[in-house]
Amino acid sequence: MTQTTSSHDKDVRQRVRSRRIALVILTALVILGAVVIARRVVPMVTKTATTSGPPHAAVIQGMPEGVMDGPPAQARAMVKSVDAPVRVSGADGVQDDAVTVSDTDAEMERKIIRRADIEVVVEDLDTFREELTHIAQRYNGYIATLWLAAVDSRRPHLTVDVVVESERFNDALRDVRSSAVTVKSERVSANDATRRYVDMNATLRNLHAEEEAFATLLERASAAGEWTDVISIMRELSRVRGEIERTTAQFKALNNRIETAEISIVAMQQLRAVPTENSWRPGDVIRSSFHDLIVRAQGMANAALRFLTLFVPLFLLWIIVIAVVWRVTRPMRTWLFRVVRKVAERTHR
């Protein structure tokens, strides 16, 4: 009797072990099937980046022979326009020697970008705004932005960004302080942009040298009648000139920030005396509370709509994918259970 019970217990443990093994194998197959389906449904597109090298050689070697049988008109126009220099011009269209790419790094002075943030209290905002306009004109600058906000009738405030010459930055800041009643806060920053200026200057010089090299190659290829090489060199020359235009625009913007300084001013008007009996307004408090309630309710409604329109469909889609995988692998699971059961029975015997 004891031997029969022991044999029965071994048989039960063997079956439980076989079922666990089958469940593990089945789970692994389901996960593998889901990964394969995901890769087929959402293919990953790999973008290969072209390696850099000698531009004209890479393009010429990659061009098939016999692209054109005759000299293209664009190649001739490109050869004629090779000697046109590319210079950095000022805002008024006049070429500025201080912005050309021929500056030497050894003689270049330090390039500083200056900015000031100041918060003041004034007697009258309209008068202060007119004074800021005069300050901007006095130091060859302008008003970049101006914003007047009336929070309430007691204390409106004015936000103004004034741009002046960098060399007269301290004088303009002193005039702003003198036009105010009180200076609440002030922060002055100076960022050194010399390294960036020198790097962009060197980049422009290298691009111009590369442009001249391509222009020389273009003239030689055009004179020799190698029209396939002409097309390839024209493409590279257009690319280099596009980089010159982009770098020149960035260089002009950097130089403009160096030559000018910005003063950001937040001006608040002095508090006006208000009778004590009118300081408490229950109606205003009720209206403000009701407005806050509506805003919060709208925020909660928007959050609920986002959840329903984004997370719920994704959850349902995942459930459908799992159900389809489970349904498709049903014959495989049945066969796997049978195989595992037969193996377990043979092992028990």
Q: Is 151 left (phi over 0), alpha (psi -120 to 50) or beta?
A: alpha
> Which of 69-78, 133-142, 191-200 has the least mean pLDDT?
69-78
DSSP code at position 166: G
For 90, phi then psi, to 5°, come to: -80, -175
- With beta carbons less than 8 A apart as the criterion, state whether 260 and 163 touch: yes
| C-alpha span between 133 and 124 (Å, rounded) | 15
Residues 285-304, buried b or exposed e (16+ Cβ, 10 A)? eeeeeeeeeeeeeeeeeeee
State which amino acid sits at residue 157.
H
State residue 209's pLDDT score.
Answer: 93
Q: DSSP string covering 186-235, please? A: EEEEEEE-HHHHHHHHHHHHHHHHHHHHHHHHHHHHHHHT-HHHHHHHHH
Higher pLDDT, 2 or 249: 249
Residue 191 has pLDDT above 80, yes or no: yes
Could you give the CA distance from residue 242 to residue 210 in angstroms, rounded to a whole number? Answer: 12
Q: Which pLDDT band, with edges at 50, 70 and 90, does 244 fall under?
A: very high
Residue 195 and residue 159: Cα distance in Å, rounded?
A: 33
- In terms of average pLDDT, the best of 3-12, 94-103, 229-238 is 229-238
The band of 332, judged by pLDDT with boundaries at 50, 70 and 90, is confident
pLDDT single digits (tens) 66-117: 333 333 344 434 434 444 444 444 434 434 443 444 444 445 688 999 999 9
Q: Provide the mean pLDDT of the chain.
A: 75
> What values do phi and psi take at 62, rounded to 5?
-80, -10
- Please report which helix (H) or strand (E) contains residue 120, including its range: strand 112-122
- Can you give the pLDDT at residue 125? 87
In degrees, rounded to 5, the angle at the alpha carbon of residue 231 between the alpha carbons of residues 227 and 232 is 115
Separation of CA 312 from chain center: 30
Tokens of 94: 């006049």
Residue 125: DSSP 8-state: H
114 CA to centre of own chain: 25
pTM: 0.45
* Mean predicted confidence (pLDDT) in 24-39: 69
pLDDT of amino acid 341: 80
Cα 16 to Cα 79: distance, rounded to the nearest angstrom: 85
Using alpha carbons, list the distances in angstroms from residue 279 to 41, 271, 272, 284, 329.
66, 13, 12, 11, 76
For helices 169-179 and 125-138, the axis angle rounded to 10 degrees is 160
In the Cβ-directed half-sphere of 142, how many Cα atoms lie within 13 Å?
2
Q: What is the pLDDT of residue 189?
A: 92
How large is the average pLDDT for residues 314-343? 84
| Token representation of residue 75 | 């190649």
DSSP 287-347: HHHHHHHHHHHHHHHHHHHHIIIIIHHHHHHHHHHHHHHHHHTHHHHHHHHHHHHHHHHHH
Residue 176 pLDDT: 92
Give, rounded to a whole angstrom, the gap between the first and last alpha carbons of the chain. 20
Q: What is the DSSP letter of 145?
A: E
275 has pLDDT over 90 = no
Weakest mean pLDDT among 8-12, 178-182, 300-304: 8-12
Mean pLDDT of 241-253: 93
Q: In angstroms, rounded to a whole number, what is the distance separating the alpha carbons of residues 135 and 147?
A: 17
For 42, counting Cβ atoms within 10 Å of its Cβ (0-12 exposed, 13-18 middle, 19+ buried), the class is exposed
pLDDT value for 195: 92
d(CA 174, CA 179): 9
Give the span between the Cα atoms of 121 and 161, in whole angstroms.
16
Residues 6+ apart with CB under 8 A from 131: 179
pLDDT level of residue 245 (50, 70, 90 thresholds): very high
Q: Categorize the per-residue pLDDT at 153 as very low, low, confident or very high, splitting at 50, 70 and 90.
A: low
